[in-house]
Chains A and B, each alone.
Chain A
Amino acid sequence: MGTVRKIEVNPITRIEGHGKITVHLDENGTVSEARFHVTQFRGFEAFTKGRDFREMPEITPRICGICPVSHHLASAKACDAILGVQITSTAHKLRELLHMGQFVQSHALSFFHLSSPDLLFGFDADPAIRNIVGVAAKFPEIATKGIMLRKFGQEIIKTLGGKKVHPWHSIPGGVNRSIKESERDSYLKEIPTMKGYVKDALELVKGYLQEHKDEVSTFAPMKTSYMGLVADGFLELYDGDIRLRGARGRIIDEFPDWAYADYIGEHVEPWSYLKFPFYRPLGYPNGSYRVGPLGRLNACDDISTPEASEELKLYRQAGEEGIVHDVLYYHYARLIEALYGVERIEQLLEDPDITGSDLRITSNELYPEGIGVIEAPRGTLIHHYKVDESGAITDVNLIVATGHNNFAMNKGVEAIAKAYIKGDDVPEGVMNRMEHLIRCYDPCLSCSTHAVGKMPLELSIVDNSGEILRKIYKD
């Protein structure tokens, strides 16, 4: 057997979690395979066994400090199902308000804090300035908008849940607090400013995509199926059916969230703590698909709020038969969702129900099983609990948003490695391109492995006997 070599990038930076990339070279120095490894595992599915199910909406947000609200809400929905209750209209809207606060803050973080440095300075820029601090120095206005948009979302979360990170608001059967009229009014006043910030960011991204058409169309191109929740065909983030749309626009399947296990399986690879979900009828890897902003905007027919709907029409002009595949469009899609988030916050705050006091439905019955599915900022999130007659957890299954994109992230990294790497000569810009590919998916790797894990990135060059020839970014 000839010499095989492996390049390692570790840590991957400016992503939310811990990971590394290895690039495998054959005897001629040609890239044979690239792998994106998620390096942490924490074991939430195992260690929650025996806990009272009512604790889950407080325990599971600790999976992720970036989108704790997603786990909080998916968990609360699973608990509602165990109680067998349908929550009140006010509780439903307050939960959605909390969720929209999170979408705005999380999408702002992904775009402004983590990804905008690459777009503003370029992939080949000096790594010392290619970060949010560099953006603050060179483009202070953009940095400030990002900070204030994120703050707007975080403040809504704090108002409802008492804290910005790991809030406590949803309880099985409802929520524990309404919103006061004075609070409502102060957020309503900020809506026009926040819409303006999102629109400025949209212009920035559209300009970038326009000016870098070649880079965009050759940046790890791939066509996949797409998954997202929909309600009557519209984009839905809190409660809907799971839709899978094919690469050419056909709706492959649409099923209720509680039936997920019949449709979604998870494949395991020995080299990553992150599993690989797939659509069961097509098997692995043919049944792989993508989720998150790009996936959702492809899966839905339209968006229910007017300004985001208009923007979606423009966005779809870049697609084939209305389906947008290019991974750098994730940023554009993410900002359209941020606009939807702000518009939806406005609609919810203007709804008289939102200040209601009918917050909770109680029940003395326990059903043996509950499933809660929502769209987290990064994609479809599934919590599934089984309990005994006392309410103690007997079984937990979590499928987290980032996991669904695992296959695509791996194939994307491999495409970039194949396009740019020959031998163990790896220019800095290539490393950063591979990292940016990962950043497009905005992976939340602490979520992904719920996770004993973390995600700096390591690139190692490995030869075909498995020996590491060179590691980059790591001692």
Chain B
Amino acid sequence: MAKVKLATVWLEACAGCHMSFLDIDDRILGLLEKVDIMYSPVVDAKEIPKVDIGVISGALGNDEEVHLAKKMREQCDILIAWGDCAVFGGINTMRNFMPAEEALKKAYVDTVSTVNPEGIIPGEDIPQLLPKAIPVDQVVKVDVYVPGCPPDADTILWVFQELLEGRIPKVPAEMMRYD
């Protein structure tokens, strides 16, 4: 049987969901017998290829992340949102209560150790912030939701196993967590 092709991307988030994926530890070796990781922060491909399963961790907070989310949706058959940031927007949405400019000014001009007499705000050759950080499904359709901060490694693995069995998983109550 041909291996299932997987792509994972980490957008506006802390990497914790990918770390939780790695926390399946040596069980990853068994998974790799059935799944090819085509695109992911842990491999070297630079563009998202056509895949069976796409995973997005992280919210959407800048224009590049929106682009990548759309690209992932185009390239995959089934799209999974991993973690509270992708599912709900997560901690990133705490900045939605203030203008993006105010958050930037605090970080790049106002902190006690910043030395920035000209008041430079970064923005050259780098992505521009959206006015608010938003969950993935405000821009593209999501097929499977796996919340948690992060979702437990066992839950992440269970979702893959269900998909490999040909079922669209719905995370059961005992595996659901939000902390």
Residues of A within 8 A of B (CB): 10-11, 13-18, 22, 35, 37-43, 45-49, 59, 61-66, 68, 109, 113-114, 127-128, 130-133, 136, 140, 143-144, 147-148, 150-151, 154, 163-166, 260-261, 264-273, 275, 277, 280, 284, 384, 395-399, 432, 444, 446, 450, 452-454, 456, 460, 472-475
The reply to whether the CB of B139 lies closer than 8 angstroms to some CB of chain A is no
A268 CA to B37 CA in the complex, in Å?
37
Given contacts A14-B41, A127-B45, are A39 and B126 in contact (CB under 8 A)? yes
Give residues of chain B (13-64) contacting chain A, Cβ–Cβ below 8 Å. Answer: 13-20, 22-23, 25-26, 28-29, 32, 37, 41-47, 58, 61-62, 64
Give residues of chain B (88-142) contacting chain A, Cβ–Cβ below 8 Å. Answer: 90-92, 94-95, 97-98, 100, 102-104, 106-109, 111-116, 120-127, 129, 133
| B179: A residues at CB distance < 8 A | 163, 166
Q: Flag if B42 contacts A265 (CB, 8 Å).
A: no
| A128: B residues at CB distance < 8 A | 44-45
A301 CA to B69 CA in the complex, in Å?
49
A163 CA to B153 CA in the complex, in Å?
10
Q: Flag if A268 contacts B15 (CB, 8 Å).
A: no
For the complex of A and B, list the 5 residue pairs with the smallest distance between their C-beta atoms, beginning with the closest. A65-B16, A473-B46, A43-B103, A46-B106, A46-B103
| Partner pick for B114 among A39, A62, A275, CB 8 A cutoff | A275
Q: Flag if B12 contacts A133 (CB, 8 Å).
A: no
The reply to whether the CB of B149 lies closer than 8 angstroms to some CB of chain A is yes
Output the residue of B28, B62, B133 with the most chain A CB within 10 A: B62
A463 vs chain B, min Cβ distance (A): 14
Closest to B115 in A: A265
| Partner pick for B113 among A39, A127, A261, CB 8 A cutoff | A261
| Partner pick for A40 among B18, B97, B116, B127, CB 8 A cutoff | B127
A447 CA to B127 CA in the complex, in Å?
17
Closest to A263 in B: B113
Output the residue of B28, B64, B91 with the most chain A CB within 10 A: B64
The reply to whether the CB of B11 lies closer than 8 angstroms to some CB of chain A is yes
Residues of B within 8 A of A (CB): 10-20, 22-23, 25-26, 28-29, 32, 37, 41-47, 58, 61-62, 64-65, 90-92, 94-95, 97-98, 100, 102-104, 106-109, 111-116, 120-127, 129, 133, 149-150, 152-153, 179
A267 CA to B108 CA in the complex, in Å?
9
Closest to A382 in B: B113
Given contacts A11-B46, A17-B15, A65-B19, are A46 and B123 in contact (CB under 8 A)? no
Q: Flag if A164 contacts B20 (CB, 8 Å).
A: yes
Q: Flag if A266 contacts B23 (CB, 8 Å).
A: no
List 29 A–B pairs whose Cβ atoms lie within 8 Å, in order of A's numbering: A13-B42, A14-B42, A14-B43, A16-B41, A22-B125, A38-B126, A43-B107, A46-B98, A46-B103, A47-B97, A47-B98, A61-B14, A65-B16, A66-B16, A114-B42, A131-B37, A131-B43, A132-B42, A143-B29, A164-B153, A165-B16, A165-B23, A268-B109, A272-B126, A277-B113, A397-B113, A453-B62, A454-B58, A474-B47
Q: Flag if B44 contacts A284 (CB, 8 Å).
A: no
A139 vs chain B, min Cβ distance (A): 13
A364 CA to B16 CA in the complex, in Å?
35
Q: Flag if A39 contacts B64 (CB, 8 Å).
A: yes
Closest to B35 in A: A133
Q: Flag if A37 contacts B32 (CB, 8 Å).
A: no
| Partner pick for B122 among A147, A271, A444, CB 8 A cutoff | A271
Given contacts A39-B126, A165-B19, are A131 and B114 in contact (CB under 8 A)? no
Q: Flag if A62 contacts B129 (CB, 8 Å).
A: no
Q: Flag if B46 contacts A271 (CB, 8 Å).
A: no
A110 CA to B45 CA in the complex, in Å?
19
Q: Flag if A452 contacts B124 (CB, 8 Å).
A: no
A230 vs chain B, min Cβ distance (A): 21
Q: Flag if A113 contacts B42 (CB, 8 Å).
A: yes
B50 vs chain A, min Cβ distance (A): 14
Closest to A132 in B: B42
| Partner pick for A65 among B18, B133, B153, CB 8 A cutoff | B18
Q: Flag if A10 contacts B92 (CB, 8 Å).
A: no
Contacts A11-B46, A452-B133 supplied; 18 other A-B pairs, CB < 8 Å: A14-B41, A14-B44, A42-B12, A46-B106, A47-B94, A47-B97, A48-B94, A64-B15, A164-B19, A261-B112, A266-B111, A267-B115, A270-B120, A271-B126, A275-B108, A384-B112, A450-B107, A473-B46
Output the residue of A165, A444, A446 with the most chain B CB within 10 A: A165
A360 CA to B157 CA in the complex, in Å?
37
Q: Flag if A41 contacts B115 (CB, 8 Å).
A: no
| A454: B residues at CB distance < 8 A | 10-13, 58, 65
Output the residue of B92, B126, B127 with the most chain A CB within 10 A: B126
Q: Flag if B41 contacts A65 (CB, 8 Å).
A: no
Closest to A66 in B: B15
Q: Flag if B42 contacts A64 (CB, 8 Å).
A: no
Q: Flag if A284 contacts B91 (CB, 8 Å).
A: no
